[in-house]
Amino acid sequence: MTTLKTCKPENMYDNVHIRQAAAFLADYASLLSGCGATCIRIEKNTCRMADAFGLGSDISIMPTHVYISVWGKDATDTCVAVRKTAGSGISFNLNARLSRLSWEVADNHLDISTAVERFERIRKTKPTDKWEVLILTSLANASFCRLFGGDATAMLIVLASTLAGYRLKQIMLEDKRDVRLTFLCASFFSAVLSAGGHIFNISATPEIALGTSVLYLIPGVPYINSVSDILYRHYLCAFSRFADAVVLTACLSAGLCAGMLILGLEWF
């Protein structure tokens, strides 16, 4: 009687290794893109880890998706993973943790399972407390008012209007409202409240209070990232980020102008 033996392909482990690496790197790049990293950072961090795993890699970053190609040393087995950009919101803390992970993988020669375990812990990182963000944002915006020459009363007006406007922004985003509508409403709310300096003559610099009351809505990170992406020839992402930033800027400007128009303030 002849016994049939099932032969295990020699490259089976390599295929599993490549697939695991591709899935992990795609998830990593997706989250890094979603938390506000530039394309060059995503590219370098991802390829750094692929090199540490002993694999070749290539990455294509689109405005809403990332594509990762991973292959073995002999270039015969290739795996492509596609992920939609994670909607985590801009987070410098998450950005820094993910970048640190890429260096840990490269410097300490971590295997894929260990890297995935640490990545999952990072992904579960809780965002900064919303009340802390609210207070710090309001204080920062009041400081901007002082920086542009506003007096103490104008700073208090900006502090109060930012507290109200930013809280409205948080509530609307938590309710899954459209981000453009959110920016318009928050800007309008802050502008109407800060116009109190004009209406009640309680500040020597009411125009500065009004002008700086909506600065917390300026999408600075997308503007900066778009410039970086242009420099490193990621033109599609650069245009997408710049267009998003321009639209949000137009929305906050419309809210500010609507507030001034309703209250009958002079534009010039």
Same domain as 159, residue 88: no
Model confidence at 267, pLDDT cuts 50, 70, 90, reads low
Of 64, 91, 123, which residue is a domain's last? 123
Mean pLDDT across the chain: 89
Whether residue 2 is contained in a domain is answered as: no
Same domain as 135, residue 256: yes
pLDDT at 15: 79
pLDDT at 244: 95
Of 123, 147, 164, which residue is a domain's last? 123
* Residue range 108-119: mean pLDDT, rounded: 93
pLDDT tens readout for residues 55-78: 999 999 999 999 999 998 777 778
What is the pTM assigned to this prediction? Answer: 0.86
Model confidence at 4, pLDDT cuts 50, 70, 90, reads very low
Same domain as 224, residue 181: yes
The tally of domains found in the chain comes to: 2
pLDDT tens readout for residues 159-205: 999 999 999 999 999 999 999 999 999 999 999 999 988 888 888 88
* Residue range 231-252: mean pLDDT, rounded: 95
Whether residue 1 is contained in a domain is answered as: no
Higher pLDDT, 152 or 196: 152
Same domain as 99, residue 135: no
**Quick one: three-class SS letters along the chain?**
CCCCCCCCCCCHHHHHHHHHHHHHHHHHHHHHHHCCCCHHHHHHHHHHHHHHCCCEEEEEECCCEEEEEEECCCCCCEEEEEEECCCCCCCHHHHHHHHHHHHHHHHHCCCHHHHHHHHHHHHCCCCCCHHHHHHHHHHHHHHHHHHCCCCHHHHHHHHHHHHHHHHHHHHHHHCCCCHHHHHHHHHHHHHHHHCHHHHCCCCCCHHHHHHHCCHHHCCHHHHHHHHHHHHCCCHHHHHHHHHHHHHHHHHHHHHHHHHHHHCCCCCC
pLDDT tens readout for residues 6-46: 333 344 447 788 999 999 999 999 999 999 999 999 999 99
Same domain as 177, residue 82: no
Same domain as 188, residue 141: yes
Same domain as 40, residue 158: no
Work out the percent of the chain whose per-residue pLDDT is above 90.
76
Same domain as 147, residue 90: no
* Residue range 148-161: mean pLDDT, rounded: 94
Higher pLDDT, 127 or 227: 227
Whether residue 250 is contained in a domain is answered as: yes
pLDDT at 157: 94
Same domain as 258, residue 135: yes
Whether residue 77 is contained in a domain is answered as: yes
Q: Which residue range forms the structural domain that includes residue 64?
A: 12-123
Of 123, 158, 181, which residue is a domain's last? 123
